[in-house]
Amino acid sequence: MNATEEYAEVVHLAARGDGVTADGRHVPGAAPGDRVGADGAIIPGLHHVAPPCRHFGACGGCQLQHVDEETLADFAARRVLEPLERLGIRPDQLMPTHMSAPGTRRRAAMRATRTKGQVRLGFNVGGQHSIVDLVECPVLHPALMALVGPLKRVLAPHLSEKSAIGVTMTLTDSGIDLLLANLQANSLPVIEGLTDFAARQGLARLSVEGPMGVETLVARADPALVMGGVSVTVPPAAFLQATEDGEAALVAAVTEICGAAGRVADLFAGSGTFALPLSQHARVLAADAAGPAIKALEAAARRAGRHVEALHRDLFRKPLSAQELAPFEAVVIDPPRAGAIAQSEALAVSAVPVVAAVSCNPATFARDAERLVAGGYRLGRLWPVAQFRWSTHVELVAEFRRQGG
């Protein structure tokens, strides 16, 4: 066997980011075009690049820092297409992949721990419960990364050995909204210390979450975001699209699908990511089971004079029926990772002419899409959105129209 024959070429990336060779081997850290020896040694190819972060390979947040831009875009497209193709479904048109830039992630959920006396704050090690102690993060917005060091210092006195505090940081238009989980803040010294920390760091809001729920300790500014020209005060740790540009790409696609529809239902509406932009030209019913989010949307729409009806409803247990959906010219559906099988089945037997489906899980999206296609919808345009840069996590927007519509 000569030297060339001893190596297998990596032909594509698997769903979890491993390189897959022509002979079917999965090789962590390999990129398409690399050659892999029988001993696992990798000879980098044209698509292999140097990872920008020292934590790559340990931190579970990123799996694809070793591949170039072309490969990232191709991976995102394959991730949304392959589950559909296994069901025999193909879109009429695959739109260009949107990719968020480094340093734009505006929301992060981390943990602080103390192990053998050392305080760590960061993301989990891949596949483990231990923590990567963040020194840098090219994904996070610089304002969030700048808070990591001060947070370690202020949380250190509250961490006993092997204990953990959950840390959720959200960058709003008025500053960082910080939520700390599993932190006992029931004494005056602790409260005063956290209040002083919030003032020194210029936080918009600082809240703690415990057995009795979420309590806001400091509210220095209204932690608000503008959605569709409307300022929304977001609840602590509310769902939010990961990046501002990623949200804009999703909204642009949904708006294009809905077109001139005058009555729109936004299902799993959250705080109004799609409902508020659509309300500029349509009457919108916004439904969600998350009480604080739907209340925030309702209050924001009322202040702005927008035609939005907010409905607090668990769409998993009680989806809108075909009869309830009948008045709408378009429906937007943006469920969590589990998808929305019950609501998709109700849509499949409805008369709604167009559905804009947003998903953060290509697998459950494909399952729900199969129901819509079986019910007479056709999958038109499909937009891959990779706002979780260097991650295998990919989102999408899909256009479904009634056959003949």
For 113-126, the pLDDT digits (tens) are 988 888 899 998 86
Task: Give the other-Cβ count within 10 Å of 186's Cβ.
Answer: 10
Tell me which fold the domain 107-224 belongs to: OB fold (Dihydrolipoamide Acetyltransferase, E2P) (2.40.50)
Q: Examine the residue annotation and report whether 360 is marked as an active-site residue of this protein.
A: yes
Which residues are paired to 98 by β-bridges?
A: 385
- Give the C-alpha distances (Å, rounded to integers) separating 277 from 31, 76, 225, 311, 315: 39, 26, 13, 17, 22
pLDDT of residue 99: 97
pLDDT of residue 1: 38
Task: Give the other-Cβ count within 10 Å of 290's Cβ.
Answer: 18
* In the chain, % of residues over pLDDT 70: 98
298, two tokens: 């309702």
Which one of the listed residues 62, 137, 258, 360 is annotated catalytic? 360
First to last CA, the chain: 60
Q: Are 1-48 and 107-224 in the same CATH fold? A: yes
Which residues are paired to 227 by β-bridges?
A: 230
Q: Are 360 and 384 in contact (CB under 8 A)?
A: no
pLDDT of residue 39: 87
Listed in sequence order, the residues at least 6 apart from 210 whose beta carbon sits closer than 8 Å to its beta carbon are: 181, 182, 183, 184, 185
Q: Which residue has the tokens 């790409």?
A: 249
Per-residue pLDDT of the chain (405 residues; tens, 9 = 90+): 344 458 899 999 999 999 999 999 999 999 999 999 988 899 999 999 999 999 999 998 899 999 999 999 999 999 999 999 999 999 999 999 999 999 999 999 999 998 888 889 999 886 677 889 999 999 999 999 999 999 999 999 988 888 899 999 999 999 999 999 998 888 888 899 999 999 999 999 999 998 888 899 999 999 999 999 999 999 987 888 999 999 999 999 999 999 999 999 999 999 999 999 999 999 999 999 999 999 999 999 999 999 999 999 999 999 999 999 999 999 999 999 999 999 999 999 999 999 999 999 999 999 999 999 999 999 999 999 999 999 999 999 999 999 875
For 324-341, the pLDDT digits (tens) are 999 999 999 999 999 999
Tell me which fold the domain 73-101+240-402 belongs to: Rossmann fold (3.40.50)
pLDDT of residue 110: 94
313, two tokens: 């409803």
Model pTM score:
0.93
The phi and psi torsions of 355 (rounded to 5 degrees) equal: -125, 130
pLDDT of residue 184: 83
Listed in sequence order, the residues at least 6 apart from 3 whose beta carbon sits closer than 8 Å to its beta carbon are: none
Q: Where are the domains of the chain?
A: 1-48, 73-101+240-402, 107-224
CATH number for the domain running over 1-48: 2.40.50
